[in-house]
A and B are shown apart, each in its own frame.
Chain A
Amino acid sequence: MIVADLRPDELRRRLARAGLRLRIGPVVAEIRSSFRAVEAGVALHYADHEVVDEDQFADFEVAVERPANVRRWIRPQAIFRFENRPPFTPLAANQAFPLLEWGLNWCVSAHCHQYLIVHAAVVERNGRAIVLPAPQGSGKSTLCAALVSRGFRLLSDELALIDIERNCIVPLPRPISLKNQSIATIAAFWPEAPMSAVVHDTVKGSVVHVRPPRASVVASAERALPGWIVLPAYRPSHRRQLTCVSKASVFMQLVDSAFNYSLHGRRGFDALGRLVDASECCRFTYGGDLDDAVQAFNTLTEAA
């Protein structure tokens, strides 16, 4: 059963009481919330995700709730709870769905240390992963959304889960998060993109989420072998340029972007080394022409 199979009142009932158990890649999250915005967000963005029965193990228990104080009514807030404890400070109530998304990112990055976790978007073509590690503002999510809209499979918009033993990347297909100018860019490039309403004034500015394609969610169990590591760099009005970079510098970039590299010691070093060795490494500078950018990635992946 998937979320789209649930009647609206059944979805609401589960979110309000027993919890909605969603399979998201390798984990199952048990989600509770009484916010309509969370209900609508889940219905839209997780429509194709599997709903797991209550007698199956859930990895994380999360809730987005109203605080038990005056901020329930006056300038209302939303609070994220992980197994009943709040890891973050509350946010304004209109940010309830983004808060759930950030909370789920945190659940995975703070606990799933069986993987080496790198802050990166990952898409796939022909069984090979394209890893896009990047600091804020490099246009990683914009590029990821553009590629996904043109048939690349989404593994993750935010977290690359590297299976250290099997040298592959584990999918975690969840909504793609777009910020500020990239919202209009993607809306123009992909007019039918399944987007939620814009949430303004978050710590990251204005935010929307885009639903992962059904095919990507259905293929959640299919891991991807290393293919390419591409460092994106968005430079307004720059010409598109794809250049080779040294594997050593890409290695260091991955170390910088990793959440738990320090925990893995020698095994983490070796695993990252194998990933870089098995991947073609390049830098991709682009100036906002997304058609052109997607064309470059098509050429890159077809050449293989």
Chain B
Amino acid sequence: MINTGCGALLAALRDIDRLPADAAGWEALIRRAREADLIGTLAFRLHERGTIERVPDGPRAHFAAARIRSMALETAMRRETREIAAALRDVDAPIVLLKGAAYLLAGLPPARGRFFSDVDILVPRHALPNVESALMLGGFATTHLHPYDQRYYRRWLHELPPMQHVKRLTVVDVHHTLAPVAGRMQPDAVALLRAAIPLRGDDRYRTLEPADMVLHSATHLFGNEVFTHGLRDLVDIDALLRHFTAADPRFVDRLVRRAVEVNLERPLYYALRWTSRLLGTAIPVRASMVTDGYGPGTLVRPLMDVLLADGLLPDSASRSTRWARRALYVRGHWLKLPLPRLAWHLAVKSLRREESTA
């Protein structure tokens, strides 16, 4: 029953015409789509395809509700990016939108029906002080006020502590590179920023160029320690790959070359492997043969296959998903920090927890 649950969701994500045949199937689809935060995406695809009328009344009400929510979140996201652009008006540095905000403002398919949350931006490291103070003048204040957390973000991570607007309560994450500074993944942030392209009809923002956009999405997903939104992020990558490949049949080959240039081969290996496995994304054999060589060694590879097969599925009721996510959580920390620093970080965190419960 657990497997039929995610099975119904994966089938619909691969092909929106493959819908459940009975109430149990619809329940599984709605529940797992809700857990994955993908119900808005499905609602949008059903409308786009014109098949929403064929959905029975019970599940259709949930798609209607999700559509209202995703349209409201889209409006809110557009407004927030305008507010942030106004706050950063006088900053003399490129501001690159990442993830959801970038998909939306660039009019890319993953934005359709997506549940947006925070705004993520990438700026050159040297511009961080100016960007941070401009955002503060614009009404954003830092979060995570404990001095250790502030030091931890600023010294070891790839972003500032999240900044929250004091009135609107919206959150902006300011990145200066795409992975933790001393972690095991070392993307070439300078090259990524240099290749960023202006957003059409907008004089403040840029987005990553198409291949880099896919690579960032892959890095974000497979370098993370938390996999609760794993499938949603994979659906983003799938939609980007389908879109860019439709425009340029050799897109994936270019993607592979670019991964080598910016030092993100490993996340690309995972992205191509798992989009094709779970979502049926068409990957040219010549590309997957190359990226296969970017995967982990013979000992780790089968282990990661098992962990991701369970960890990517939005089924927190299943024991295998829970265990896989615990293991991926440990792995994520291992990728993030050098071992002595990780030991110190975990020691500080555990002592603080005792302090706060005492």
Contact = CB atoms under 8 A, between A and B. Distances in A.
Contact of B68 (A28, A58, A83, A263): A263
Contact of B35 (A28, A58, A83): A83
Given A57-B26, A57-B56, A113 B69 contact: yes
A236 interface: no
Nearest to A116: B68
A264 B23 contact: no
Nearest to B73: A263
B42 to A, nearest CB: 15
A84 B34 CA distance: 12
A205 interface: no
B302 to A, nearest CB: 28
A83 B58 CA distance: 17
Nearest to A55: B23
Interface string A225-242: 000000000000000000
Contacts, number: 52
Contacts of A111: 34, 62, 65
A55 B317 contact: no
A84 B317 contact: yes
A228 B26 CA distance: 39
Contacts of B26: 57
A84 B35 CA distance: 9
A57 B68 contact: no
A262 B72 CA distance: 8
A16 interface: no
B58 A113 contact: no
Given A57-B58, A59-B62, A264 B31 contact: no
Nearest to B58: A57
For chain A, the bracket of interface size reads 10 to 19
Interface in A214-232: none
Contacts of A84: 35, 316-317
Given A57-B56, A59-B61, A263 B72 contact: yes
Contacts of B65: 111-114
Contacts of A58: 23, 27
Interface in B65-106: 65-66, 68-69, 71-72, 75
Contacts of A55: 22-24
Interface in B290-330: 316-317
B69 A263 contact: yes
Nearest to B35: A83
A85 B35 contact: yes
Given A58-B27, A85-B35, A265 B72 contact: yes
Closest 9 CB pairs of A and B: A57-B58, A84-B317, A113-B65, A263-B72, A57-B23, A114-B64, A113-B68, A114-B65, A83-B31
7 contacts: A55-B23, A57-B26, A57-B56, A84-B35, A112-B65, A113-B65, A114-B61
Interface of A: 26, 28, 55-59, 61, 83-85, 111-114, 262-265
